[in-house]
Amino acid sequence: MSVVGGFPVLAGVDLDLSAGEIVLLTGGNGAGKTSLLRVIAGLAPVTSGEATAFGYDLARPPRAHRGRVVFVGGDAGCYEALTVRRNLELYAAASRQAPAELLGAAVDLGLEVQLDVPFGRLSTGQRQRCALAIGLARRADLFLLDEPHSGLDERGRDLIDRTVVDAAAGGAIVVVVSHELERARRIATAEIVVSGGVCGSKKEIS
Amino acid sequence: MSSSHARLTAAGFTSQIATVARKDLEIEARTGVAAGRMVPFAGILVVLFAIALDPDSGLLPRLAPGLFWIAVLLSALMAITRSFALEREHRAGEGLIGAGLDPAAMFLGKAAAIAVELLTLELLVGSTMVVLYEVSRPGAVIVAACLLLASAGIACAGTLYGALTIAGDGRDSLLAVLLLPALVPLMVAATRAFEIAVDVGTGTATTWVGLLGVFAAIYASLGSLTFASLIEET
């Protein structure tokens, strides 16, 4: 994948990522990490310059691009009035997966007791787990995870890490933004520092 | 490429439409937000019309068809606004489309849910008007066809224009400005058909009912084709 940009907040970004990599993006608040993830996901506009991912023009990303990319961060993408189970079933119908796949991911992330609780009544951490269950259960080539550890307890964080490692082992690319640096570096294969909207060079993590 | 974005079969497309419609109706059944706004609003309009036009003047039975559709159209704005507020909540609509939901299925599913809500409202408002305005009992077939097609037309046009307000950055007020003028042909056709059904109008009701069908078909096609680009632009 390559991203070549000329974005208002992301000038001169150039990334080349390979299948199976887990790349940690680090940098201070406002450095442009989340903006970069949203641009790659096709969720933020490219107002000038060029940006491509998987060969698709990110200025007008086609549906095929969205099918290959999962972005988890910020908004959970769930309906407050519906239970966790119904939200997962909706996503299963949208992505044409068996509901059991998403329900299984939610159970793995510790949401078994909350399956029949409306999403609006979940705690911040439980909402985060629900969003991760929806995202990580999807079959995708690129996972973009914005602060996946936030709001989770130790067990939840371990589960996320295992799921990320499994996804990469299956050939997916995972890009993680996390302020839990010590934990994230344990699973990352490379790290890139973003500063002032500019990406530094990729450093391998042994 | 992920299978979730591969081409849908007709059965898969229909299933996604049903999923979206069921989702919207389930949320409405759980929260009652749209009904809690639409029903009192339509009820107040019906009573205000009656007070303003003096029940003893004999005008109410003659004007009832037009007043009925004005009350329905104004109340429909609330159902449409609520429908798109749901999708703004935690960017859920964006999430579902990102996961592989066909935007056309989202359009038709949302329109179907709005149409069901409108039909329920129309039955309540219509029954109230028949009693309160002393309207003669209308022909059931014409009324049923008119209600179904007009509800479908309002819902499809409303969902199309509602997509413009999905970003929610103060554009909600634009919905009425854009949608109501677009619904004038529907309102005229539905009113004429109703006038004939309650014996206060002349002509052939089937012509007007046919026009309602054409209107609904045009907006259903237009929405299915353009909904994806509309929600991406907003």
Q: What is the pLDDT of residue A145?
A: 92
Contact A138 B94 (CB under 8 A): no
Contact B96 A77 (CB under 8 A): yes
Contact A94 B19 (CB under 8 A): yes
CA–CA min distance A105, chain B (Å): 16
Q: Which residue of A has its CA nearest to B231?
A: A43
CA–CA min distance B223, chain A (Å): 18
Is the ipTM beyond the 0.90 threshold? no
CA–CA min distance B133, chain A (Å): 38
Contact A80 B90 (CB under 8 A): yes
Q: What is the DSSP letter of A6?
A: E
CA–CA min distance A206, chain B (Å): 31
Whether pTM > 0.80 for this model: the answer is: yes
Shortest CB distance from B5 goes to which of A66, A77, A90?
Answer: A66
In this complex, is the C-beta atom of B233 within 8 Å of any C-beta atom belonging to chain A? no
Q: Which residue of B has its CA nearest to A135?
A: B99
Give per-10-residue mean pLDDT for chain B (234 aa).
Answer: 61 94 96 92 94 85 94 96 89 86 95 98 94 84 95 97 71 83 96 89 88 97 90 64
* Model pLDDT for residues A79-121, shown as the tens digit of each residue: 999 999 999 999 999 988 899 999 998 998 889 999 999 999 9
Report whether B72 contacts B153 (CB < 8 A): no
In this complex, is the C-beta atom of B9 within 8 Å of any C-beta atom belonging to chain A? no
Strands A11-16 and A198-199: unpaired
Query: pLDDT below 70 — which residues of chain A?
Result: 1-14, 206
